[in-house]
Chains A and B, each alone.
Chain A
Amino acid sequence: MSEETIAMKVARYRPEHAAEPYVDEYRVPYREDMVVLDALNQIKDEIDGSLAYRWSCRMGVCGSCGMMVNGKPRLTCSTFLREFYPKPVVVEPLRHFPVIRDLVVDMTDFMEKLKEVKPWIIRKGEKPVEEGEYLQTPEEVDAYKQFSMCINCMLCYSACPVYGRDPEFLGPAVIALGRRYNLDSRDQGQAERREVLGVDWGIWDCTFVGECTVVCPKDVDPSAAIQREKVATTTEAMLSVMLPFKGRT
Chain B
Amino acid sequence: MSKREGARYPAYVPEYPRSWWLQTGPYRRFAAREITSMFVAAFSGLLLLFLFAVSRGREAYEGFLRWLKLPAVVAVFAVILVAVLYHMATWFRLTAHIQVVRLGRKVVPKSVVIAGLFGTWVLASVIVAYFHIWF
Contact = CB atoms under 8 A, between A and B. Distances in A.
Contacts of A168: none
A142 B105 CA distance: 8
Interface residues of B, number: 22
A106 B98 contact: no
Contact of A223 (B13, B34, B97): B97
Interface string A91-108: 000011011110000101
A109 to B, nearest CB: 11
B94 A15 contact: no
Contacts of B16: 96, 164-165
Interface string A200-223: 000000011111011000000101
A86 interface: no
A141 B30 CA distance: 33
Interface stretch (B4-12, B61-69, B70-78, B123-131): B4-12
B4 A108 contact: yes
Interface stretch (A29-37, A122-130, A224-232): A224-232
A16 interface: yes
Contact of A209 (B7, B9, B27, B98): B27
A100 B11 contact: yes
Nearest to B7: A100
B9 A15 contact: yes
A111 interface: yes
B12 A13 contact: yes
B52 interface: no
Interface string A101-145: 100001010011000000000000000000000000011001000
A55 B133 CA distance: 66
A161 B94 contact: no
Contacts of A21: 12
B97 A161 contact: no
B26 A228 contact: no
Given A21-B12, A99-B11, A228-B98, A165 B26 contact: no
B132 to A, nearest CB: 34
A41 B23 CA distance: 31
24 contacts: A19-B10, A19-B12, A98-B12, A99-B13, A99-B14, A100-B9, A112-B2, A139-B105, A161-B21, A161-B27, A164-B16, A164-B20, A207-B30, A207-B34, A208-B94, A209-B26, A210-B30, A210-B94, A211-B30, A223-B97, A224-B97, A224-B98, A224-B100, A227-B97
Interface of B: 2, 4, 7, 9-14, 16, 20-21, 24, 26-27, 30, 34, 94, 97-98, 100, 105
Interface of A: 13, 15-16, 19-21, 71, 95-96, 98-101, 106, 108, 111-112, 138-139, 142, 161, 164-165, 207-211, 213-214, 221, 223-224, 227-228, 231
